[in-house]
């Protein structure tokens, strides 16, 4: 098979370029293109693993009414997310499904509206503001660990994936939203999980049933999102009644005024942004942590070293932001875990006008898909791609790789707004947990990634904890 040309898409304009190639649909080892469609829906990770083995850098896949182009290489991904990002928007169908829960918040909006909201929200995620969150992150983790103690005494396993979800949700509400949701945390966690599955199913289904039909799934979704709305509108109402001038996101957004009209945000708009942060900002980090604990349990030598480092540096204290510099392996372990199990495993864009990437013609309206799960395993970029080796992320190693060899947070203008928040949070949680306990996987636990909106452990992550 002819290899696609490896151009960066930024060739000099006075050199005559060869005409872009039209790609034939790839069957990825299936006997038929219908087989591929079935695979895309039933086992997308297997589809990605097969795509990884194909010699072409760009694959064309037909999925029902849509034509997908899968980009594998960093420079092609950079083309879609950065160099020619103006030609792309998030795919309408995917966004329509997400809007059912997120409304028109940062993740789902486009154009000038998105830009305005992004500018308003940015200061809440600024490094200087993040430092003030460190204490709350470590304290919430310590509180969770106290709750683990009966299970530790009785040698009873518990689901670390659920624990991480509840913890990151609590942290998001206390820090970014500025509200402690003591009683509502588990309720919200459950609602977000239901919504996640429902939205994913609709996003991937070719013929979703109308939302108004009283099917049990539709009813459950409506009930759970109504419960979420209820909690969020309560927060907004309370903050409007008692403004306290704090730097949390809701207060900042509430105080923001449109430069031209002088109007401030409606309750509905605030609801959309708060819901977006709740959903985008907790399951992702929780997933990254669940996989990290799993990988550490499979690599006891790395775990032992990290636990020793943590206890030496902390000497019995809770971790603070400054400690992270002296514990660089925390960052490396989390990055390596997100290389193998990127919480956001696929990104999609649709082309507004015809384009060309790597010598291949992309028609107007096609969907371009990029998968960190796949690119993070390209053998020409990563030695022993399936192996867990945090030392890949020592600063020298990181500098040697091209941008978009590694992109768990996406890139370009739509790069994750919470990336620094998430990295700081994950490191503080990991240090606080390792300071007190050692975790091992329950012997019967089946482990498999489930590619929903985030790449969750399909059967949960039952683990046993013992005191250090
Ligand atoms: C390990 C944790 C996280 C991962 C892997 C992750 C990943 C991502 C990725 C890949 C995108 C880009 C999606 C695209 O371009 O299609 C994104 C966007 C976003 N993320 Fe995260 N995220 C994480 C944590 C967070 C946190 C903690 C927050 C908030 C507190 C957050 C809020 C957002 C928002 C609001 C967007 C949309 C940004 C925009 O389009 O302007 N994320 N995230």
Q: Kindly calculate the radius of gyration of the chain based on its CA atoms and give it in whole angstroms.
A: 23
The answer on pLDDT for 1 being more than 50 is: no
Predicted confidence at residue 158, as pLDDT, reads 97
The answer on pLDDT for 459 being more than 90 is: yes
Predicted confidence at residue 210, as pLDDT, reads 64
Which protein residue has the closest C-alpha to ligand 1 atom 2? 285
107 lines ligand 1 (CB under 6 A): yes
CA of 106 to the centre of ligand 1 (A): 9
Which protein residue has the closest C-alpha to ligand 1 atom 13? 410
> How does residue 9 score in pLDDT terms, banded at 50, 70 and 90?
very low
66: enclosing H helix or E strand: strand 66-71
Predicted confidence at residue 396, as pLDDT, reads 87
- Report, as an integer, the average pLDDT of 152-174: 94
CA of 343 to the centre of ligand 1 (A): 10
> How does residue 35 score in pLDDT terms, banded at 50, 70 and 90?
low
417 lines ligand 1 (CB under 6 A): yes
The answer on pLDDT for 4 being more than 90 is: no
Q: Give tens-digit pLDDT for 164-205.
A: 999 999 999 888 888 877 777 777 877 877 877 777 777 655
Percentage with pLDDT > 90 across the chain: 58
The answer on pLDDT for 244 being more than 80 is: no
The answer on pLDDT for 209 being more than 80 is: no
Structure-token pair, residue 190: 């459950």
| Chain mean pLDDT for the chain | 88
Predicted confidence at residue 22, as pLDDT, reads 87
Which protein residue has the closest C-alpha to ligand 1 atom 7? 409
Nearest by Cα to 302 from 382, 393, 423: 393
347 lines ligand 1 (CB under 6 A): yes
Predicted confidence at residue 162, as pLDDT, reads 92
CA of 142 to the centre of ligand 1 (A): 26
How far apart (Å, rounded) are the C-alpha atoms in residues 128 and 124? 9
The answer on pLDDT for 405 being more than 70 is: yes
How far apart (Å, rounded) are the C-alpha atoms in residues 174 and 151? 26
Give 386's contacts (C-beta < 8 A, 6+ positions apart): 340, 377
Q: Worst-scoring range by mean pLDDT, 151-160, 219-228, 247-256?
A: 247-256
422 lines ligand 1 (CB under 6 A): yes
For a ligand 1 pocket test, name from 175, 280, 367 the mutation site with the most ligand atoms within 8 angstroms of its C-beta: 280
Q: Is the torsion defined by CA of 161, 163, 169, 172 positive or negative? A: negative
How far apart (Å, rounded) are the C-alpha atoms in residues 337 and 49? 18
Which protein residue has the closest C-alpha to ligand 1 atom 11? 416
Which protein residue has the closest C-alpha to ligand 1 atom 18? 416
278: enclosing H helix or E strand: helix 267-298
Structure-token pair, residue 37: 């469609």
For a ligand 1 pocket test, name from 416, 422, 424 the mutation site with the most ligand atoms within 8 angstroms of its C-beta: 416
136 HSE (CA, 13 A, CB side): 20
Q: Give tens-digit pLDDT for 96-130.
A: 888 888 999 999 999 999 998 898 888 888 888 88
The pTM of this model reads: 0.91
């Amino acid at each position: 098979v002819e290899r696609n040309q490896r151009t960066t898409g930024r060739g000099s304009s006075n050199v005559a370029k060869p005409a872009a190639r039209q790609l034939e649909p790839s069957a990825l080892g299936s006997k038929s293109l219908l087989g591929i469609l079935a695979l895309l829906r039933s086992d997308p990770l297997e589809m990605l693993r097969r795509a990884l083995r194909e010699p072409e850098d760009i694959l064309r896949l037909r999925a029902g009414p849509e034509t997908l182009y899968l980009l594998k290489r960093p420079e092609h991904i950079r083309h879609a997310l950065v160099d020619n990002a103006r030609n792309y928007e998030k795919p309408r169908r995917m966004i329509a499904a997400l809007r059912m829960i997120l409304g028109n918040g940062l993740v789902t909006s486009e154009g000038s509206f998105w830009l305005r909201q992004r500018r308003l929200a940015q200061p809440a995620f600024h490094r200087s503001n993040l430092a003030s969150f460190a204490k709350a992150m470590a304290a919430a983790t310590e509180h969770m660990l106290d709750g683990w103690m009966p299970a530790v005494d009785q040698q009873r396993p518990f689901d670390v994936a659920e624990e991480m979800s509840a913890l990151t949700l609590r942290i998001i509400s206390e820090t970014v939203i500025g509200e402690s949701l003591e009683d509502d945390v588990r309720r919200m966690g459950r609602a977000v999980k239901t919504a996640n599955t429902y939205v994913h199913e609709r996003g991937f289904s070719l013929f979703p049933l109308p939302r108004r039909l009283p099917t049990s799934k539709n009813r459950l979704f409506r009930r759970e999102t109504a419960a979420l709305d209820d909690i969020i509108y309560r927060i907004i109402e309370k903050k409007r009644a008692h403004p306290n001038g704090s730097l949390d996101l809701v207060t900042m957004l509430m105080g923001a005024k449109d430069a031209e009209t002088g109007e401030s945000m409606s309750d509905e708009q605030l609801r959309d942004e708060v819901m977006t942060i709740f959903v985008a900002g907790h399951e992702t980090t929780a997933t990254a942590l669940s996989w990290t604990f799993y990988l550490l349990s499979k690599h006891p030598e790395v775990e032992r070293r990290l636990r020793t480092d943590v206890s030496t540096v902390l000497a019995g204290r809770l971790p603070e932001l400054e400690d992270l510099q002296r514990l660089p392996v925390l960052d490396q372990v989390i990055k390596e875990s997100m290389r193998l199990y990127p919480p956001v495993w696929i990104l999609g864009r649709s082309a507004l006008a015809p384009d060309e990437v790597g010598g291949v013609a992309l028609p107007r309206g096609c969907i371009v898909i990029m998968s960190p799960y796949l690119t993070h395993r390209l053998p020409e970029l990563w030695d022993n791609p399936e192996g867990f080796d945090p030392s890949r992320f020592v600063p020298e190693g990181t500098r040697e790789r091209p941008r978009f060899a590694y992109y768990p947070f996406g890139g370009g203008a739509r790069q994750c707004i919470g990336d620094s928040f998430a990295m700081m949070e994950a490191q503080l949680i990991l240090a606080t947990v390792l300071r007190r306990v050692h975790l091992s996987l329950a012997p019967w636990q089946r482990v498999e990634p489930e590619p929903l909106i985030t790449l969750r452990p399909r059967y949960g992550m039952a683990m046993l904890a013992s005191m250090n």
